[in-house]
Structure 1
Amino acid sequence: MKKHLFLILVLFVVACQKETDEPNPGVYFVAPSHFPKPVYPIDSNVITAAGFDLGKNLFYDGILSRDSTIACGECHRQTYVFTHHMHDLSHGIDGRVGLRNAQSLQNLAWRERFQWDGKAATLNEQPILPIEHPDEMDDKIDNVVARLARHQGYRDKFKAAFGTEGVTKERMLKALTQFMLSLVSYQSRYDKYLLKDASANFTQDELDGMNLFSSKGCANCHKGVLFTDESFRSNGLSKFERTKIEYINEKPVLQIVVDEGRFRVTGNANDKFKFKVPSLRNIAASSPYMHDGRYTTLLEVLNFYDASVQDYGTLDPILRQSNGRLGIQMTSEEKRKIIAFLNTLTDDTFLKDKRFAEPDGFPVR
């Protein structure tokens, strides 16, 4: 009898450790067995309960912006894969409108650079960009640190997270990074299918869609289990001129702007109109699409690749066919099946995980 009870206990523990079960509230970072090795050096910023808690509070607190109205969580909402749902361009302080669509926040430990144009080289420095961008939070990082230090609640949380007194820029960025590192999505139906979970069998349409996704060349850029090769590519979107206020030397100047992507960072003409290849995980939940949010449905995206790709000199060679045609030729039936496959990439466990929701008793100040 004791032997049987022991066997039952062992099976229970193993079942609780399966990747496809509910997340463990005490686990803050998961490196799934079917994922590659993380890019971020986890050992350099080990996620603790107190660090995660501080990072989450900072993420959802408007105190990071100039007038304390715009939080990271304003443009990155969990239900929509931490994007600014149905906003083509993100809105920031004083109702200002930015130039790009907010990117999803998931599986960031595997990212190599950040922002659509790769301006941030590491996850630790990524938060500085929205904090200091005039269309987003419009402040200086030192001002934010000083503001946090004035609140006893934050002083206590910084001490709990780092062991000693002190609210500093480095600690603030490390805490935000700890929270963002925890946003790992790995429990979609696709993952379960990949891990041979019998409960996650694909329909014929989904199987056909997965095969078409590969044979049509989508997987050339949206590679592997993370569905991105982390590269910067020009996908042939038409130029979109916008009249907007740009802040030059902190002064507003009305300008006509064309977003030239990676070129804005490198100044290399070969980088014009190249943007970071986004992950397609949870893609069905993250509308609108493209760096400027111009498409609201996946069918619109596939229609673009089928019939509207343009070449401004830096178009990715993958989108140039041997017969001179641009884009990826697809029938209506093929598009339907590809979308059926893309829907299997939705991870409802991640989108509803209460660990990542705005904390109770908030804000701490």
Structure 2
Amino acid sequence: MLAYRSLVILVAIAVSIVGTGCSPDEPAPTPKNVEIQPCDQASTTPYTFDLPAHFPPFIVSNNNLTTVEGVALGRRLYYDDRLSAGGPLRGKSCSSCHPQSKSFSNNAPGTSVLPHTNLNWSSYFLWNGEISGGIEEAMMFEVVDFFQTNITLIKADKTYQRMSCEAFGTSDISEREMANALAQWMRTLISHDSKYDRYIAGIEQLTTQELRGEEIFNSVGDCFKCHTMPLTTDLMFHNNGIELAPTGKDMGRFNVTGDPADMGKFKTPTLRNVALTVPYMHDGRFETLEQVVDHYDSRVIFSDTLDSVMVVPGNVYTLGLSRNEKEALVAFLKTFTDTTFITNPKFSDPFK
């Protein structure tokens, strides 16, 4: 696996494009003497996940069981811009690039940020899967490498000392407790109450146009082969025909494995709240769902590692969708919008 540090530089550049305070703030002063409050043994409350029947079981970390107290700590850290006080991204929090209103994704032009949504089922993170393992590993990267957190500043905060004591039985919060708390919080970010989910549950009906879109999705469109239900992703890596001879970061999974068979492959993103998570593709090249559908309909570029779903021996890959069929497919994709998820107060900024 590549060293994380090279990735930090690339992501830092992307974050600077976002524009929410591109010039770093002055660094917060680091306390010289940190007084750690005494802590009794933690008494935690197991967190109860509310999942619909059609969702599969998810990965459970026995070394970091999700608790009400751990989630509360992780939520506060997620929204705290002091998380970045020690590094080059000063003044930014996780939520700066992953706001709730955008399904914990970002709409900045020229960038494409994978949403912090339904990560419980993932073992690979980032577009090329450079970080693997549990969410804990991904969050340790965020704390140590990406944000380069000034841990002393967090340790000195009495609120964090209390919350760490409640969640982990220690007031002396470390990078590990921070990563574990963030991982617990991220596990709660589950989108499962879209119109499509209510349709599956028999609570709501799709329109005639949406039903036609579903039919295309599951037949001629072949969308379902990579965007498997109900997560709307197979969590795997695919070359979807957007580059003939990719270079640099556009080489995707190849940059991690070095395997020529992985050239141009990227992780299948979730389609949940896809109408909110523009732009699309790993490089943000498409600004609308209509452009995405047009690509798969008639603009797929053949290469040696093009996904087998799109390989038609002796022919150019095309779906041949009519305008009405394209509109129906887009209408169906919009049924994955979960307004409950993006407005749920338990996922909101605790500082407000």
TM-score tier, shorter chain, comes to 0.7 to 0.9
Distance 1:102 1:130 in 2: 14
Structure 2 partner of 1:293: 284
Q: Do the aligned residues in 2 keep the contact of 1:283 with 1:346 (CA within 8 Å)?
A: yes
SS in 2 for 1:84: coil
Distance 1:78 1:292 in 2: 21
Cα pair distance change 1:206/1:116, threshold 3 Å: same
Give the residue type in structure 2 aligned to 1:46.
Answer: L
Distance 1:161 1:131 in 2: 18
Structure 1 partner of 2:119: 108
Cα pair distance change 1:261/1:355, threshold 3 Å: same
> 2:210 aligned with 1:206, yes or no?
yes
> 2:65 aligned with 1:46, yes or no?
yes
Structure 2 partner of 1:80: 102
Cα pair distance change 1:261/1:320, threshold 3 Å: same
Distance 1:62 1:239 in 2: 40
Report the Cα offset of residue 353 of structure 1.
0.5
Structure 2 partner of 1:338: 329
Cα pair distance change 1:191/1:116, threshold 3 Å: same
Gaps of 5+ in 2: 1-45
SS in 1 for 2:211: helix
Residue identity over aligned pairs, in percent, reads 34
Aligned residue among 184, 187, 193 for 2:193: 187
Q: Do the aligned residues in 1 keep the contact of 2:101 with 2:343 (CA within 8 Å)?
A: yes
Distance 2:279 2:166 in 1: 39
Distance 1:82 1:240 in 2: 32
Distance 1:83 1:240 in 2: 28
Report the Cα offset of residue 147 of structure 1.
3.0
Distance 1:145 1:294 in 2: 37
Alignment of 1:279-358 (within 5 A): 279-358=270-349
SS in 2 for 1:305: helix
Report the Cα offset of residue 173 of structure 1.
0.9
Distance 1:295 1:132 in 2: 32
Render the CA deviation track for 1:237-284: whole Å, top value 9, x for unaligned. Answer: 12698xxxxxxxxxxxxxx84421111111111111100011111111
Distance 1:27 1:346 in 2: 25
Report the Cα offset of residue 55 of structure 1.
0.3
Distance 2:321 2:104 in 1: 30
Distance 1:85 1:128 in 2: 25
Report the Cα offset of residue 329 of structure 1.
3.1
Q: Do the aligned residues in 1 keep the contact of 2:143 with 2:175 (CA within 8 Å)?
A: no
Distance 1:240 1:71 in 2: 36
Render the CA deviation track for 1:263-315: whole Å, top value 9, x for unaligned. Answer: 11111111111000111111111111111111110000011112221123211
Structure 2 partner of 1:250: none
Give the residue type in structure 2 aligned to 1:52.
Answer: V
Cα pair distance change 1:191/1:265, threshold 3 Å: same
Report the Cα offset of residue 56 of structure 1.
0.7
Render the CA deviation track for 1:79-133: whole Å, top value 9, x for unaligned. Answer: 11101123332xxxxxxxxxxx210111111123111111121211112334455
Structure 2 partner of 1:156: 162
Structure 1 partner of 2:92: 70
Distance 1:358 1:87 in 2: 24
> 2:235 aligned with 1:223, yes or no?
no
Structure 2 partner of 1:23: none
SS in 1 for 2:91: coil
Q: Do the aligned residues in 2 keep the contact of 1:86 with 1:296 (CA within 8 Å)?
A: no
Alignment of 1:94-133 (within 5 A): 101-121=112-132, 122-131=134-143
Structure 1 partner of 2:238: 233
Q: Do the aligned residues in 2 keep the contact of 1:124 with 1:174 (CA within 8 Å)?
A: yes
> 2:57 aligned with 1:37, yes or no?
yes
SS in 2 for 1:64: helix
Structure 1 partner of 2:174: 168
Gaps of 5+ in 1: 1-25, 90-100, 242-255
Distance 1:168 1:357 in 2: 24
SS in 2 for 1:184: coil
The range that moved more, 179-188 or 112-121, is: 112-121
Cα pair distance change 1:271/1:161, threshold 3 Å: same
> 2:70 aligned with 1:58, yes or no?
no
Report the Cα offset of residue 342 of structure 1.
0.8
Report the Cα offset of residue 220 of structure 1.
0.8
Give the residue type in structure 2 aligned to 1:47.
Answer: T
Distance 1:267 1:119 in 2: 12
Q: Do the aligned residues in 1 keep the contact of 2:135 with 2:183 (CA within 8 Å)?
A: yes
Cα pair distance change 1:327/1:262, threshold 3 Å: farther
Q: Do the aligned residues in 2 keep the contact of 1:28 with 1:52 (CA within 8 Å)?
A: no
The range that moved more, 201-210 or 160-169, is: 160-169
Report the Cα offset of residue 69 of structure 1.
1.1
Report the Cα offset of residue 209 of structure 1.
0.5
* TM-score normalised according to structure 1 size: 0.78
Report the Cα offset of residue 43 of structure 1.
4.6
